[in-house]
Amino acid sequence: MVVNVHAPAGISKEPVRPRERTPRVDTPTFEIDVEELAAVREGGTLVDVREPGEYVAGHVPGAVLIPMGELANRLREIDKTARVFVICASGNRSGAMTDLLRSAGFDAASVAGGTGAWARSGRPLKEDLHDHDRPDHRSHRDPDLG
């Protein structure tokens, strides 16, 4: 016995293919490159959101360490009247934390390419933890920054 099955009207006989997913972006990420950072950073605050071991191994001079997992609870430590530049190793963590800062009312931008891009541009990374780099120190400017 042969049964002829027909699709009900309005239903395609073609196989169902899943739709391609588009990444969901709730808040746009604001980015600057290392050239822009070097040019506009005066008067701003550079926040490094990597872990302490990463920071000590090499950080942009004058960067303030506030690890990603602590940032939401330490927003009061950041000057809300100054521009905030957020950096990590590659730009992924800093992008997420820039969105967090912007949603909290900060004028924030992520540094595209992070400390890797900074180093590739020929700019120096410090490999130690000086007092002026500690988060509780209020002076965030570095005259050696090019």
Question: Which pairing describes strands 108-111 and 64-65: parallel, antiparallel, or unpaired?
Answer: unpaired
User: Distance between CA 50 and CA 90 in Å, rounded?
Assistant: 10
User: Distance between CA 2 and CA 26 in Å, rounded?
Assistant: 53
Just list the catalytic residues. 88
User: Distance between CA 96 and CA 125 in Å, rounded?
Assistant: 23
User: Distance between CA 127 and CA 86 in Å, rounded?
Assistant: 19
DSSP 48-84: E-S-HHHHHH-B-TTPEE--HHHHTT-GGGS-TTS-E
